[in-house]
């Protein structure tokens, strides 16, 4: 079978334990994602880094 183009990833907050779950197209984006998103625990925008879903 063919390998799927999109995989589920977990965006972990650098400030708290909060995380988002999203999809990533592995053919277009080969490096790890780093995004600034809203963290409701600390109530501000912080950097989120890609991690694996366990």
- Residue-wise pLDDT for 5-38, tens only, equals 999 999 999 999 999 999 999 999 999 999 999 9
Given the DSSP bridges, would you call strands 19-25 and 6-13 parallel, antiparallel or unpaired? antiparallel
Q: What's the predicted TM-score (pTM) here?
A: 0.87
**According to the model, what pLDDT value does residue 20 have?**
98
CATH architecture of residue range(s) 6-51: Single Sheet (2.20)
**According to the model, what pLDDT value does residue 1 have?**
86
Domain ranges of the chain: 6-51
Residue 32: both structure tokens together? 């790890």
């Amino acid at each position: 079978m063919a390998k799927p183009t999109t995989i589920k990833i977990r965006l972990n907050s650098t400030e708290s334990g909060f995380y988002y779950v999203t999809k990533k197209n592995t053919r277009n984006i080969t490096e790890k994602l780093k995004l600034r998103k809203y963290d409701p625990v600390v109530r501000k925008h912080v950097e989120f880094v890609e991690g694996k879903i366990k």
